[in-house]
Structure 1
């Protein structure tokens, strides 16, 4: 195992810059997920760590060693790709053992490494099968097994679940997390799916337009997003954003709705702000603000209600089964300690002075 240190890393293709000074410290044994929308640079950064892309500037260390100019095969990493990259004419066992055979490892060593890896991944009964006889989830486990037998210092996963159906993705992310807990190998995982990031990672690196927006534990990003982008990207459904102006009484929207002042955020009166509250934090409460219902979507365990506060769109997620009709008014409120304020000009979260050190 090894730590990975990314220091002011940049990437350009001719005059086009795609990574703008990325710096991230990944501790030994951590499970870190790079997440962000398509085109944000997360896969490019992963390929640079693997040595599959040249670095235009900055430094990457694996353990104590700078690897900027080290060939991929000498970096002590193992990569699992989105498309599995299995050899179709080789059996499961042969695919898993391929890297060891290239190193001319003895047969007993190959057997000693392949057998336990197959047991961990539930592949023991499939070792003689060809990839075309396997399901998508089984193929992905073979690709993981091929990485495990190499016993690398770092695992790299490049959107490994994106080709699987929804049910299998849920199963596989549980298996990958359990595998990390068992092996303890430093893991860097790329996905555009924030649910994968929230459920699997020790730490999440949120990227956007070639920059790091925030790094932190999943619930830290969820509860204390640094800016509007992180607040809107993390969480499903997304955080509600209401535009208004700070006043001494609270936040006044353009159509006259007075939103209560968050208890952990503050803005100078007259400042244009964005008020943020997560859908699941809305509560039905007599005397609350009037949410005019537009659409109700029951899912069984919860009910999603889409509507308007004044002229602004809002979604609420309630544990109650709500049978409201379009046009009906529901009184809603929320815990003011869970509300956020963001500066409209900078997008940064605003924090009450007493909370600056803790935020």
Structure 2
């Protein structure tokens, strides 16, 4: 196990910068997820950590040692790829043992490590099969087993669940998290799926356009996003964004573009006169017969909850209700807002206003 540090790391392809001075500190044994939309630089950052991409500036350290110019085999890392990358002509056992065979490990050591990894991952009865005889989830476990047998300082996962169906992704999320609890190896995991990030990570690094937008625990990012990008990216359904301004005569009232006067739990005197965004999570809207009228646009029942999109505040707003709601598109519902959980953002800078 080891710490991992990115210190002012940069990467350019020709004159085009894709990583723009990234600083991240990963503690020994932490499970850290790099998350962001396609093209944000998260996979490039992981490949630089693995030694598969050269860096253009800064330092990458593993266990306190600078590894900028070390080849991948000397970094003591193991990587699990999105497409499994299994050898089709080798059995499960030989796929898992391949790196040890290249390192000239003894057969007794190979058997010990392969059987240990197979036992952890539920592959013991599949060791004589070939990849073509396995399901997608079993192939992914073999890829993980191949990483485990190396006993590395750091595990790297590059969107390992992208090729699996929805039900299997949920099961594999739990398996990977359980594996981390058991092995306690420092893990860096890349995904564009913020649900994966929220449910698996000890710490999340939100990336956008080659930069780190915010680092924190899942609930820190959910409850206290630094800016509009993080607020909109973390959470499903996403945070609602309503444009408007603070009432100059009552700093605890927000006037939306459609004229609705929305509550604030406290005043924001420094933000009076600015164009703002009123940020509200869907679960903090409730049905209330004395509240605001809103026209229903879309209804999405999921069984344990009902998601309803309404026209409100000059925007389409998503509400999440635990109760069953008997309503149709075009009809009106009456909603109320919990102002304690409202965030204000500056429209121009996108930054959250703290007070």
TM-score range normalised by the length of the shorter chain:
over 0.9
Distance between the aligned counterparts of 1:93 and 1:280, measured in 2?
A: 48
1:332-347 equivalent positions in 2, closer than 5 A: 332-347=335-350
Identify unmatched segments of 5+ residues in structure 2.
Answer: none
Q: After superposition, what is the alpha-carbon deviation per residue over 1:108-163, rounded to whole angstroms, capped at 9, x for unaligned?
A: 00111111110000000000000000000000000000000000000000000000
State the distance in 2 between where 1:262 and 1:81 align.
47
Preserved CA contact (<8 Å) 1:264 1:337? no
Q: Does the aligned pair in 1 maintain the 2:256–2:314 contact within 8 Å?
A: no
Q: Deviations over 1:258-309 (max 9, x none)?
A: 1112448664321110001011111112321212112222111111111111
CA offsets 1:324-348 (integer angstroms, 9 cap, x no match): 1223222212221111100111100
- Asked if 1:118 is matched to 2:121, the reply is no
Instruction: Provide the aligned C-alpha RMSD in A.
Output: 1.1
**Partner residue of 2:222?**
222
User: Is contact 1:40-1:208 (8 Å) kept?
Assistant: yes
CA distance in 1, matches of 2:187, 2:215: 16
Preserved contact between residue 243 and residue 314 of structure 2 (Cα < 8 Å): no
Partner in structure 2 of residue 301 of structure 1: 304
* Residue number in structure 2 paired with 1:158: 158
Residue 209 of structure 2 corresponds to 209
Which whole-Å CA distance do the structure 2 matches of 1:44 and 1:16 have between them?
14
Q: Which residue of 1 aligns with 2:170?
A: 170
> Following superposition of structure 1 onto structure 2, how do residues 77-88 of structure 1 map, counting pairs within 5 Å?
77-88=77-88
Q: What residue ranges of structure 1 are gaps of 5+ in the alignment?
A: 353-359
- Distance (whole Å) between structure 1 residues aligned to residue 267 and residue 38 of structure 2: 33
**TM-score, normalised relative to structure 1:** 0.96
**What is the correspondence of 1:23-102 to structure 2 with a 5 Å cutoff?**
23-102=23-102
Deviates most, 108-117 or 120-129: 108-117
Contact 1:266 / 1:350 at 8 angstroms: preserved in 2? no
Give the aligned length.
352
CA distance in 2, matches of 1:25, 1:297: 40
Distance between the aligned counterparts of 2:263 and 2:96, measured in 1? Answer: 59
Cα 1:37–1:265 shift into 2, 3 Å: farther
- Deviation for aligned residue 1:193: 0.2
The match for 1:15 is 15
Distance 1:32 1:265, change over 3 A: farther
Pairing of 1:218-257 with structure 2 (within 5 A): 218-247=218-247, 248-249=249-250, 250-257=253-260
Q: Give the TM-score, by structure 2 length.
A: 0.97
